[in-house]
């Protein structure tokens, strides 16, 4: 199998539709919801829910259809493009507004955890709700005050109550993306869920870590805080407290038996291997928006980018702009490779983290350099460029910081374990 760099027709068609959404429903409201952080853009959410249902867009693992055959000829199976399609969709929506993208109805990181660590029955049960009548959200609850990048330090605890056959969970999770929309029972939303990572045996270390699906409205669970943030302000970021929260026995993802392996922790990492390239795609969407805006303003002021000339004959702005284009395109190629590997069920821990590191760097550098080149125009709130500069930084932070992902890359290349290289 080889990587195809030309986007398949279904992806191109979807991008065309999403570009209209990005321009008409996202950018037109970007400034308002950046300044009114915790208001909910109901029109966008309801429109996207209806549109995604009609187009079959947004499912974490859409079914691949084969081409129709003629007569008795065998049908030709199309190459798998589920993650490639998601990356393209996310890049385009983030080009519109990354905060809005993060509140697009669907499973998000919570559904990704179910997909990575759940049984076939759990996938059928929990992922089916994203096709229901009301917009539905899911969120991942992993980070704690004492366990940020080091997820093995999680202190949330889940204990089995053998009398009721329920798990009792205690702990507090912070910086939960879309946590409020996934858990709070808004009248206009369907029944969502959060995926809470907790230990069933703290003495077993990483081997004792498991994920639990906690449905919206569960008693003992509260959204105790909403963060005020630098960027992605249209998206809620919540603190969620769990006090004697009871969930059914079969809501644990993976085996409830603790063995001398890190199976539970590997479930968490498998989730990130699938989603880190998608986060990278999101960051590159923001970077592309900034680069295109910069080109537009340079054209308006008569600054031409003269491609094909030796670097010593180019102006400094021309060299910097071309370098920014190279950074963006090279980072996108890394995303394409990582999602291609995910689609073809190839281990992609190295490529996933590499794409995330590169996109985090590229997004920050391109948006910052665009602000610098445009000076007052870049710094002014008259345009969205300063907002994109603020939005871009999150790519380097969530779902594994740039530093942590560099460690993952080094371990993969050098063959060290987590305990050997920290």
20 assigned to some structural domain: no
Region 8-25: mean pLDDT is: 92
What is the band of 422 on the pLDDT scale with cuts at 50, 70, 90? confident
Same domain? 225 vs 157 = yes
Nearest Cα to Cα of residue 111 among 61, 173, 63: 61
Q: Which residues pair with 158 in a beta bridge?
A: 169
270-303: pLDDT as tens digits: 778 889 999 999 999 999 999 999 999 999 999 9
Region 390-416: mean pLDDT is: 95
Task: Examine the fold and report which residue of 261, 285, 302 is the final residue of a domain before the chain moves on.
Answer: 261
156-165: pLDDT as tens digits: 999 999 999 9
Question: Which member of 144, 318, 386, 399 is catalytic?
Answer: 399
pLDDT greater than 80 at residue 75: no
CA distance 401 to 360: 9
187 assigned to some structural domain: yes
Q: Comparing 46-55, 155-164, 382-391, 406-415, which segment has the lowest mean pLDDT? A: 46-55
336-382: pLDDT as tens digits: 999 999 999 999 999 999 999 999 999 999 999 999 999 999 999 99
Report field, pTM of the whole predicted structure over 0.75: yes
CA distance 223 to 207: 28
Task: Examine the fold and report which residue of 194, 227, 261 is the final residue of a domain before the chain moves on.
Answer: 261
For position 402, which CATH number holds? 1.20.140.10
The label of the residue with tokens 């049908």 reads: 75
How far from the centroid of its chain's Cα atoms is residue 173's Cα? 18
95 assigned to some structural domain: no
pLDDT greater than 60 at residue 59: no
CA distance 405 to 46: 35
CA distance 31 to 383: 9
107-145: pLDDT as tens digits: 888 998 898 889 999 999 999 888 888 999 999 999 999
pLDDT value, residue 64: 42
Question: Is 399 an annotated catalytic residue?
Answer: yes
Same domain? 200 vs 306 = no
Contact 383, 293 (CB under 8 A): yes
For position 241, which CATH number holds? 2.40.110.10
pLDDT value, residue 354: 98
pLDDT value, residue 201: 92
Same domain? 282 vs 394 = yes
Task: Examine the fold and report which residue of 261, 276, 300 is the final residue of a domain before the chain moves on.
Answer: 261
Q: Which domain holds residue 318?
A: 265-414
């Amino acid at each position: 199998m080889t990587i195809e760099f030309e986007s398949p027709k279904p992806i191109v068609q979807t991008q065309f539709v999403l570009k209209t959404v990005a321009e008409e429903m996202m950018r037109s409201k970007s400034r308002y919801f950046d300044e009114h952080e915790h208001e909910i853009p109901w029109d966008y959410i309801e429109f996207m829910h209806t549109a995604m249902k009609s187009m079959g867009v947004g499912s974490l693992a859409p079914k691949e259809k084969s081409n129709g055959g003629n007569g008795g000829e065998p049908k030709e199976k199309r190459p798998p493009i589920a993650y490639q399609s998601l990356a393209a969709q996310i890049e385009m929506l983030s080009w519109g507004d990354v905060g809005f993208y993060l509140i697009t109805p669907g499973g998000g990181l919570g559904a990704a955890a179910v997909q990575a660590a759940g049984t076939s029955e759990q996938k059928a049960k929990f992922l089916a709700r994203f096709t229901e009548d009301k917009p539905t959200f899911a969120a991942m609850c992993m980070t704690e005050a004492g366990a940020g990048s080091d997820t093995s330090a999680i202190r949330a605890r889940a204990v089995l109550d053998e009398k009721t056959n329920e798990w009792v969970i205690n702990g507090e999770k912070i910086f939960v993306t879309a946590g409020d929309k996934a858990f709070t029972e808004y009248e206009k939303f369907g029944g969502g869920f959060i995926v809470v990572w907790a230990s069933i045996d703290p003495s077993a270390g990483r081997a004792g870590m498991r994920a639990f699906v906690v449905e919206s409205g569960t008693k003992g669970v509260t959204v105790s805080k909403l963060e005020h943030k630098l960027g992605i302000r249209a998206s809620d970021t919540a603190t969620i407290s769990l006090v004697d929260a009871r969930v059914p026995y079969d809501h644990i993802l993976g085996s409830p038996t603790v063995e001398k392996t890190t199976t539970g922790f590997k479930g968490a990492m498998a989730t990130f291997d699938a989603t880190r390239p998608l986060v990278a795609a999101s960051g590159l969407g923001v970077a592309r928006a900034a680069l295109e805006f910069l080109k537009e303003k340079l054209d308006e002021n008569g600054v031409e980018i003269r491609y094909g000339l030796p670097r010593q004959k180019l102006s400094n702005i021309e060299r910097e702009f071309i370098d920014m284009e190279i950074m963006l395109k090279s980072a996108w190629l890394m995303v394409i490779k990582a999602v291609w590997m995910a689609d073809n069920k190839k281990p992609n821990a190295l490529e996933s983290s590499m794409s995330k590191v590169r996109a985090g760097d590229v997004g920050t550098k391109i948006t910052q350099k665009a602000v610098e080149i445009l000076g007052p125009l870049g710094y002014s709130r008259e345009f969205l460029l300063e907002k994109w500069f603020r939005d871009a930084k999150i790519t380097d932070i969530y779902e594994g910081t740039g530093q942590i992902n560099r460690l993952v890359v080094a371990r993969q290349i050098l063959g060290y374990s987590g305990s050997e290289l920290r």
